[in-house]
Amino acid sequence: MKLLCSQASPYARCVRSLIHYLGIKDIEEVTVNPFENTAELLDANPLGQIPCLITNDGIPLFDSEVIMRYLDAELGEQQMFGAHRDNWVLQGHFSMIKGLIDSAVKLRQEQMREEEGVRSAFWTSRFEQALLRGLMQMEHLSVITQATIQAPQLALICLLDYVDFRHPELDWRKVAPATALWFSEMRNLPAFIETRPQ
Ligand SMILES: N[C@@H](CCC(=O)N[C@@H](CS)C(=O)NCC(=O)O)C(=O)O
């Protein structure tokens, strides 16, 4: 199998961390810059987005959540999203964290606008506030007290590393000290050290 991905993408990092965490061996990671619109990426994913997994049967799979669910179901033990279809609390936590990754990426896109003048103070503040609200709520959720790693914990570590990497000015530790303490330990697990963006 082939994973079209990049080091910096937090969505690709979720998939790459899951691969390392589950000890999956037969996936070739191919670095792709989505903005170069390579034929390989556009043929597999007309959205032009990474990550995109091409299975051994040639089936292109995206987005990151679908790839994670596929790998967990086919090559894992259905441990990452829970074995029970009624595990809605976990699903809700995962959706929120995935939404926070969206906010962090949109904040980055806003900051990357070439001319300062076209950056929107409204959207910048809206994405920052969503991130801070979500992390404040995280303080009260079982995501940071559960001993095992499942999809929400894995995505949260990828989110927080990305926020520190791209948005060091965002003082999230002040509003989420328990999450910060949890993160300081979890981010050193091998699956996250091996996949951390430089
Ligand atoms: N919902 C998608 C989002 C993927 C995504 O936005 N990836 C970014 C890289 S971080 C990308 O490919 N951006 C290029 C674009 O949107 O045109 C997922 O979860 O995989």
Contact residues of ligand 1, CB 6 A cut-off: 9, 11, 34, 48-51, 62-65, 105
* Closest protein CA for atom 10 of ligand 1: 9
pLDDT tops 80 at residue 14: yes
pLDDT at 187 over 90: yes
Q: Is residue 63 very low, low, confident or very high in pLDDT (cuts 50, 70, 90)?
A: very high
Distance (Å, rounded) from C-alpha 173 to C-alpha 188? 17
- What residue's CA is closest to ligand 1, atom 5? 49
Per CATH, the number for 2-74 is: 3.40.30.10
Give 92 Cα–ligand 1 centroid separation in angstroms. 21
Place of tokens 């900051």: 111
- Mean pLDDT, residues 113-134: 92
Q: What's the CATH number for 88-189?
A: 1.20.1050.10
Does position 86 have pLDDT exceeding 80, yes or no? Answer: no
The domains of the chain are located at 2-74, 88-189
User: What pLDDT does residue 114 have?
Assistant: 76
For ligand 1, atom 19: residue with the closest CA:
64
Q: Residue 30's beta-bridge partner residues?
A: 4
